[in-house]
Amino acid sequence: MGAHSAKNLRGIRIIVTGGGTGGHTYPALTTIRALQSRFAASGTRAQFLWVGVASGLEARICREQHIPFRAITTGKLRRSPTPRELARNVADAFRIPLGVLQAFGIVLRTRPDVVLSTGGYVCVPVGVAAWVLRRPLVMHEQTSTVGLANRILARLATRVLLSHESSAGHLPARARRRAVITGNPVRPEVLAGDRMRGVAGYGADAQPPLVLVTGGATGALQVNDLVAGILPDVLPYCSMLHQSGEYGFARAREAAAALPGPLARRYRVVDYIHDELPDVLAAADVVICRSGASTTAELTGLGKACILIPLVPTGGDEQRRTASYLAAEGAARMLTGPDATPERLRDELMQLLKNPDERGAMAARARQLGRPDAAGRVAEEIIAAVGRRAIPRRP
């Protein structure tokens, strides 16, 4: 970090803004942890303030992590609204000016040395306030595309941090000169799992290779239904741990109950995987899942062979774009649209189960694309921005 190392920084004040979903919230939290570790190691006093919306995930995370939090009133303008959403657009249009005034007040009082924005519509008023008041603004984009809020802030940011090289093409031309590829911050505990502990925790009947199925914390009914249709065909060749989510748990248990005894012992379904997730990920030989930004960052950081079933549609179709990119690079298989059938899932999974070399090559390619050091790189850029204090004046 040169002359602008953390050792030279004293009494740093940092505003973090972003949230609404885990994809925006958890990378911000991981970055805060990385900064806290670096500041503590250098004896630097750092104060964090997270600005978000009271109903967002970020508010709960801040309470749990004891991070100071301020809520602002803001709104989301929907680009292709239905008649019902059009009324919500009108209501939100009146909320946005209030949120901008609140954001200016917070930035004026806090006088942050740097503002970190990780996406979501709450970021726009805070980012604009930072730019107008000459505070360094560091923007981070998690997806392979660039969301509307970040396309706005990219014109104002001191530094634009991207998770994927392909994201640069979605930026305004002038913003590309300030862009750097850092990757998407991954929780360090996810990268520190123990394979043997994961296998032991799965149960004595585990038969390698181990397939992990997950639709995220809440599950994914599409993924659950596809997997239910292939269990008798694939379980002779593997063991499977299936995180079904709360709403899909009963249905997955019914599928398990229909299996003959020897196969049933190779299939375990749970509604949610808690603190043991890092160990389970370490033990998994193949992962079947969605292709959200945080999920794919974790899988590539770990180097896991995976079959991705993107959620469609999502904002900017980002899950399908991410899955398509990884599949084209040989780092994953993708099932979407008419290809997302039990038959195709069975064929793709059996190909990986019966060919360890192919599975290993996919995992190696995923590892090459992964950026497990992303949190540290984002932290370095934030610390550097504090020293530069050079803010572009014209969007």
User: For the segment 230-285, what is each residue's pLDDT rounded down to a tens digit?
Assistant: 999 999 999 999 999 888 899 999 999 999 999 999 999 999 998 899 999 999 99
pLDDT of 154 strictly over 80: yes
Among residues of the chain, what percentage have pLDDT more than 70? 87
Contact status, residue 256 vs residue 228, Cβ threshold 8 Å:
no
Mean pLDDT of all residues in 199-211: 74
Please name each of the domains of the chain with its CATH number.
2-186+373-388 (3.40.50.2000), 190-369 (3.40.50.2000)
Collapsing DSSP states into helix, strand and coil, what is residue 81?
A: coil
What is the side-by-side order of every strand in the sheet holding 137-141? 69-71, 46-52, 12-17, 114-117, 137-141, 159-162, 179-181
Residue 360 CA to residue 352 CA, distance in Å, equals 9
**pLDDT for res 7:** 42
**pLDDT for res 277:** 92
Q: pLDDT band at 207, cuts 50/70/90?
A: low
Over residues 105-120, the pLDDT tens digits come to: 999 999 999 999 999 8
Please report, for residues 181, 316, 323, 384, the alpha-carbon distance to residue 308 in angstroms, rounded to integers and kept in the order given: 23, 17, 6, 36
Residue 27 CA to residue 292 CA, distance in Å, equals 13
Q: pLDDT band at 165, cuts 50/70/90?
A: confident
Residue 332 CA to residue 389 CA, distance in Å, equals 41
Structure tokens at 376: 């540290």
**pLDDT for res 76:** 59
Please report, for residues 96, 219, 255, the alpha-carbon distance to residue 124 in angstroms, rounded to integers and kept in the order given: 10, 31, 46
Residue 75 CA to residue 114 CA, distance in Å, equals 24
**Worst-scoring range by mean pLDDT, 48-62, 133-147, 211-225?**
211-225
Q: For the chain, what is the mean pLDDT?
A: 88
pLDDT of 85 strictly over 60: no
pLDDT of 9 strictly over 60: no
Residue 130 CA to residue 316 CA, distance in Å, equals 26
Over residues 180-198, the pLDDT tens digits come to: 999 999 999 999 999 989 8
Handedness of CA 189, 191, 192, 197 (dihedral sign): positive
pLDDT of 138 strictly over 80: yes
Residue with tokens 């084209």: 328
Residue 160 CA to residue 154 CA, distance in Å, equals 6
Residue 168 CA to residue 215 CA, distance in Å, equals 29
Return the CA Rg of the chain. Answer: 22
Contact status, residue 383 vs residue 36, Cβ threshold 8 Å:
no
